[in-house]
């Protein structure tokens, strides 16, 4: 198959995962893996605890964040189906849609993006992720609010319509890439963590969670290798009850007879008003963390995850198995450019202490 320099390989699951069901057969290399782990001096961590960060935001530039790990499997499948078009969907600021659209163009495929909760062209704008999938020349389809099931159905119907219209194969990627290959992306991530010294250096893992795919893959990895750590998943949108239902389904899909709550600690106290709603407190956490540690968080995923980590360390330290905590930074940087940061950066008072008049008395201005 001629796909330029994008190499397709047969995928081999880690030895401890080879008995699972639905193991993807191939993988196409899209990212730089073995992302680094380093100490993270988060402000507000109680004495005794040490926080570290797995920089999975560094998988790439335009194809950055953990979602690209999933796409390596899904695009391998799309190419093996000889797809010329790819349909997917998500919310306006979806990291998934951005990564799919740009990957499509890099592989010579045409991206078709269904944008949820948008009914007028003017609402699309060109900020953050939306700018990037629009720059990829994606065909956009606006989809006003509907249920998760109805939206998934729309994606499948659109894929059928496109393959008929163009008489070329079209591959459909479900919302957010949540799928069994998705789980294997994070089972592979867990193997990467093991090779980086996970078992010797850490007691707990904390990660942000939307559909649950990322956390489930990590928790399965932990379970199958002897449950040495405790996995905490901070929800950014769904209730613990809803997530449990969805993750239970994913687990039975790969033939594991376990419940989500047997293998992970789901925390749903930091959802705020739901997906895509950033309180001022959250925006403050983001600015406080970047101003103190130089690490960028986003208002959709990693910001809420970090807020959850910091609050729980203070409120319920017994929730953690040990003192050495690894936070997985799943990416999402472009969400930070959705325009919302203006709300805190331009508030009188906030951040004003960073803005100085020119110290003319000491350094006269050269005219």
Ligand X SMILES: *Cc1c(COP(=O)(O)O)cnc(C)c1O
Strand 110-116 to strand 139-143: parallel, antiparallel, or no bridges (unpaired)?
parallel
Among 184, 202, 301, 320, which residue interacts with ligand X (rule: CB under 6 A)?
301
Query: Catalytic positions, please?
Result: 94
Collect all residues with Cβ–Cβ distance below 8 Å to 119 and sequence separation of at least 6.
142, 144
Tell me, by CB under 6 A, how many residues bind ligand X.
18
Residue 87-126 contact track with ligand X, rule CB under 6 A, x = bound: --------x-------------------------------
Nearer Cβ to ligand X, position 86 or 178? 178
Query: How remote is the C-alpha of 162 from its chain's centroid?
Result: 28
Stretch that binds ligand X, among 12-20, 255-263, 314-322, 326-334 (CB under 6 A): 326-334
User: Does 67 help bind ligand X (rule: CB under 6 A)?
Assistant: yes
Contact region with ligand X (CB under 6 A), list: 30-38, 138-146, 207-215, 249-257: 207-215
SS3 357: coil
Helix (H) or strand (E) holding 312: helix 302-315
Contact between 338 and ligand X by CB under 6 A: the answer reads no
Radius of gyration of the chain (CA): 21
| The dihedral formed by the CA atoms of 285, 288, 294 and 295, expressed in degrees to the nearest 10 | 0
Which neighbouring-strand residues pair with 54? 37, 328
C-beta of 75 vs 301, nearer to ligand X: 301
Which of 330, 334, 336, 338 is close enough to bind ligand X by CB under 6 A? 330
Burial 255-284 (b: 16+ CB within 10 A, else e): ebeeebeebbbbbbebbbeebbebeeebbb
Only one of the segments 25-33, 74-82, 197-205, 211-219 lies at the binding site for ligand X (rule: CB under 6 A); that segment is 211-219
Nearer to ligand X, 100 or 162 (CB): 100
The answer to whether 144 touches 117, Cβ cutoff 8 Å, is yes
Residues that bind ligand X (CB under 6 A): 65, 67, 95, 176, 178, 208-215, 301-302, 330-332
């Amino acid at each position: 198959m001629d796909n330029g320099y994008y190499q397709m390989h047969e995928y081999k699951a880690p030895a401890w995962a080879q008995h699972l069901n639905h193991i993807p057969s191939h993988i196409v290399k899209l990212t730089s893996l073995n992302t680094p782990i380093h100490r993270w001096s988060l402000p507000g961590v109680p004495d005794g605890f040490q926080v570290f960060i797995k920089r999975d935001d560094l998988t790439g530039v335009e194809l950055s964040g953990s979602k690209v790990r999933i796409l390596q499997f899904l695009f391998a499948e799309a190419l093996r189906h000889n797809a010329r078009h790819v349909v997917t969907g998500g919310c306006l600021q979806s990291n998934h849609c951005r990564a799919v659209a740009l990957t499509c163009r890099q592989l010579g495929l045409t991206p078709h993006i269904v944008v949820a909760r948008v009914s007028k062209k003017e609402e699309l704008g060109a900020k953050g992720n939306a700018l990037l999938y629009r720059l990829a020349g994606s065909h956009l389809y606006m989809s006003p609010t509907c249920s998760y099931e109805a939206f998934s159905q729309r994606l499948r119907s659109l894929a059928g319509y496109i393959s008929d219209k163009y008489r070329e194969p079209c591959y459909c990627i479900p919302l957010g890439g949540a799928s069994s290959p998705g789980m294997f992306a994070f089972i592979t991530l867990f193997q990467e963590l093991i090779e980086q010294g996970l078992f010797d250096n850490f007691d707990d893992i904390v990660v942000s969670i939307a559909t649950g795919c990322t956390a489930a893959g990590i928790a399965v990895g932990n379970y199958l290798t002897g449950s040495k750590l405790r996995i905490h998943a901070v929800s950014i949108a769904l209730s613990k009850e809803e997530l449990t239902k969805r993750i239970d389904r994913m687990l039975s899909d790969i033939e594991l007879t376990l419940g989500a709550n047997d293998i992970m600690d789901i925390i749903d106290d930091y959802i705020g008003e739901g997906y895509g709603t950033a309180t001022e407190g959250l925006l403050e956490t983001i600015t406080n963390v970047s101003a103190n540690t130089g690490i960028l968080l986003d208002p959709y995923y990693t910001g809420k995850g970090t807020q959850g980590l910091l609050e729980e360390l203070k409120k319920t330290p017994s929730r953690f198995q040990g003192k050495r905590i690894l936070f997985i930074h799943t990416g999402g940087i472009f969400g930070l450019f959705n325009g919302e940061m203006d709300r805190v950066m331009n508030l009188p008072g906030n951040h004003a202490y960073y803005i100085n008049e020119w110290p003319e008395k000491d350094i006269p201005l050269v005219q």
